[in-house]
Amino acid sequence: MPMTATLERTISPFKNEPVKNFTDPADVVAMQEALRSVQSDFGKKYHIVIDGECLETEKYIASINPANPDEVIGLVGSASLEQATRAIEAAAKSFETWKHTRAKERAGIIFKAAELVRRRRMEFNAFLVYEVGKSWSEADGDTAEAIDFLEFYAREALRYDGPQPVVPMEGEANELRYIPLGVGVIIPPWNFAFAIMAGITTAAIVAGNTAVLKPSSDAPVIAAKFVELLDEAGLPAGVLNFVPGSGGTIGDAIVSHPLTRFISFTGSKEVGLHINELAAKTQPGQKWIKRVVAEMGGKDSIIVADDADVDAAVEGVAVSAFGFQGQKCSACSRAIVDEEIYDEFVAKLKKRVERITVGDPAAQNNYMGPVVNESALKSISQYIEVGKSEGNLLAGGSRVGDRGYFLQPTVIVDVPPDARISQEEIFGPVLAVIKAKDYDDALQIANNTEFGLTGAVYSKDDAKLDRAREEFFVGNLYLNRKCTGAMVGAHPFGGFNMSGTDSKAGSADYLLLFLQAKTIAKKVEKKDSGEAGKGF
């Protein structure tokens, strides 16, 4: 049934934003125009924002195009320690007002922001292409997911603002209400530079918190553009403060600050654990136990059983492994294949992977673009060399050209389950193929890492799929489909073990991470009828 709120309109049920496939010539033209427009804006300066004021900084972060490192997308202010501390203090001051702002007003701002993103969809797509190397379709999926998060979390804020169920008690009128936590530090990743950044930021603020956003240094321009958009949507000064900078310079300080109430982080296991450790140490003047919301890494597997549709499995593995160059925490980095169909699967996978095009993502026909930076290129290349010694190279294995950070989609077969490339997160276009003796063995291999984010099983046997439901230990399990592409609302996203706190982004539970519950009980007099007041 439709959700209603006093927003001068009826709030319709949530519906995912459709992703464009760019078969419509009008969309192609619009995207090409956006790419040209954004390119003409390269080199622009973007400032930090504290309490609504744009401030100069001594240093700037140069955001470069990974497809052409000579191109500077923008120069983004790098906050000093003093400025980052001021941002926390500004957020704390603004919280005293923002926490009393009615949910319908907070949600209204986020709904307006979603509409502004729709109007500027191709512009954000273009920035995603240039700043982090996404293909057209991957970029549009990122932007569509950002819209989904805004729409979904705004509705959730209204739902949590309404009456919450409690058990009636004779002689009392009882209620439970959710109130915001305080100041949050928001640390998003570069791989979903728009969707995750926008999602974890707006979830915090629509719930009534204020925030300090420290974006990835590989994607600060997109974050700066979103901060500008929220200002246009009417977000009051100081509710969101924008302080790019290095983790060593400002990251540890704002996480440790005694006024910081919670940290929302998406990134690597190593950084996530470091943040958790810092947050656990109580600082002088700190009044609370800090809350950490962390979505970290993955070493995700797709099991291909002996009765699977091999062609479908090959397609699902290839798309999951090499979409956005494998730079997704949900990406398939291990295909675990039953020995009965192993040779057939490997032969078909080789042909499928060799069809993948690699090149500048600004060109519509390229499926894979560059990895995000030179450091990633070197790290992934080192893993490929390790993989060559642990298994047999089936496809790829080399850099593409000498301009930009391009790698071939790489497949290494006959990899032992305990090999380094079977266990360590590579975060790039490298797939390990592992032979399983049978389905029991496949499930055991699938669960042999420290992670537990996504996984998939291809099988025609319902009994095998039921076993996966029970035994495959991941936060997001997919049956007879790829292991990437979680949709807001439909596939609440988050993992187990070293994959994080299982935050379940895009779920009906997510805003609870940014709220605390207050119970209020009022004694009531008995009515003349002799009946006691119960509940509401």
Give me the active site residues, please. Answer: 295, 329
CB 353 within 8 A of CB 393: no
Residue from 125, 130, 126 nearest 143 by CA:
125
* 127: Cα within 13 Å, side-chain hemisphere: 26
Residue 326 per-residue DSSP state: G
Residue from 110, 134, 116, 271 nearest 189 by CA:
271
Residue from 209, 176, 183, 177 nearest 100 by CA:
209
Instruction: Provide φ and ψ at 104, rounded to 5°.
Output: -65, -30
CB 255 within 8 A of CB 232: no
Can you give the length of the chain in residues? 536
Cα(533)–Cα(172) distance, rounded to whole angstroms?
Answer: 6
DSSP code per residue over 17-79: PPPP-S-SHHHHHHHHHHHHHHHTTTTEEE-EEETTEEE--SEEEEEEETTEEEEEEEEEEE-
End-to-end CA, the chain: 22
Instruction: Provide φ and ψ at 286, rounded to 5°.
Output: -80, 135
**Tokens read off for 500:** 């994080």
Strand pairing of 9-11 and 3-5? antiparallel
Helices (H), 282-419: 310-322, 342-353, 374-390
Cα(335)–Cα(100) distance, rounded to whole angstroms?
Answer: 51
Other CB atoms within 10 Å distance of the CB of residue 369: 27
CB 443 within 8 A of CB 468: yes
Cα(248)–Cα(219) distance, rounded to whole angstroms?
Answer: 18
Residue from 112, 134, 150, 1 nearest 67 by CA:
134
* 505: Cα within 13 Å, side-chain hemisphere: 30
Single-letter residue type at 405:
Y
CB 332 within 8 A of CB 300: yes
CB 275 within 8 A of CB 255: yes
Q: Which residues contact 380 (CB under 8 A, 6 or more apart)?
A: 371, 407, 426, 427, 428, 429, 430
Residue 247 per-residue DSSP state: I
CB 437 within 8 A of CB 336: no
